Amino acid sequence: MGVLVLHGYTGNPEEMRALAEAAANAGYSVELPRLPGHGTSVEDLMTTTWDDWSKAAAATYEELAVRCDKVAIIGLSMGAGLALHVAEHHREVAGLVLINPFCKPPAPELVTGLNDLVAAGVETSESIGSDIKHGQRTAQYNATPLRPAQTLFDGITHVYNSLGLVSAPILLLASREDHVVPSDNSDAVEDLTKGTVERVWLENSYHVATLDNDAALIESLSVRFLEGVLT
């Protein structure tokens, strides 16, 4: 039985490592890939797109599925959007753990603002890695590249439009207060996917919840869910 674990935009495997280790300690074969352009430098990320990240996620899933009878996917933020993308194309996915998922197109004014900044020659904006309630920063990049974000928005639009193809059971973990991804993204998962959805509110964490005050809760709930869908 296998588990694919996917980190978020501008993040790296560190933000998911404890969760991946919890799954491995429960006896599963775990893959935690570093998505293209991540975990090195902002300049590297600027040369990548949604197509690169989604292909890497799908390829890792397919490699894991070759050696495992069942595979579940865990994702944070963009990683959750990628998990949904894989599940839309692989209906045999056993289950999904989605943590503060980014899976709904941003508001039109946000897209317009992003496009205007890029057109004006602005390359980066403020980092999203500091959205942690207990205040400790992560090893995420200290800036958010904007051109790759344009492709992220386009990719998420395709994910959103195909949510009805997802029939795998879902554990949906959503921070009550998230300054990066609006809660209507989690609403979309509940409303548009076809499988069972168990939604749990995280009361003491912000967006990067896997490194925040609810990390232990996320790990225990995720392992319990994996036991249910992978046995």
Q: Read off the CATH number of the domain in which 100 is found.
A: 3.40.50.1820
pLDDT given at position 213: 92
Dihedral angle, C-alpha 47, 51, 54, 58, nearest 10 ° = -120
Is this structure's pTM higher than 0.75? yes
What are the beta bridge partners of residue 71? 2
Q: Are strands 71-76 and 143-145 parallel, antiparallel or unpaired?
A: unpaired
- Report CA torsion sign: 207, 140, 53, 4: negative
Domain region containing 155: 2-229
pLDDT given at position 122: 82
Which residue of the set 207, 212, 214, 222 is catalytic?
207
- 160-170 in b/e form (b: 16+ CB < 10 A) is beebeebebbb
pLDDT given at position 167: 95
Assigned token pair, 117: 């900044």
Residue position matching structure tokens 């599925």: 65
Confidence of residue 3 (pLDDT cuts 50, 70, 90): very high
Neighbours of 122 (CB within 10 A): 12
pLDDT given at position 40: 87
Which residue of the set 38, 54, 131, 178 is catalytic?
178
How many residues are listed for the chain in this entry? 231
For residue 121, the SS3 value is coil
pLDDT given at position 125: 78
DSSP string covering 174-209? EESS-SSS-THHHHHHHHH-SS-EEEEEESS--SSG
Percent of the chain predicted with pLDDT > 70: 96
pLDDT given at position 145: 87
Please indicate whether residue 212 is annotated as part of the active site: no
Please indicate whether residue 127 is annotated as part of the active site: no
Confidence of residue 128 (pLDDT cuts 50, 70, 90): low
Which residue of the set 7, 38, 54, 77 is catalytic?
77
Structural domain count, the chain:
1
pLDDT, tens digit, for every residue of 32-90? 999 999 988 888 999 999 999 999 999 999 999 999 999 999 999 999 999 999 999 99
CA atoms of 69 and 188, how far apart (whole Å): 29
Beta strand ranges found along the chain (DSSP E): 2-6, 29-31, 71-76, 95-99, 124-126, 143-145, 170-175, 197-202
Please indicate whether residue 207 is annotated as part of the active site: yes
Residue position matching structure tokens 């570093």: 34
104 has a pLDDT exceeding 90: yes
138 has a pLDDT exceeding 70: no
CA atoms of 201 and 199, how far apart (whole Å): 7
Compute and round to an integer the Cα radius of gyration of the chain: 16
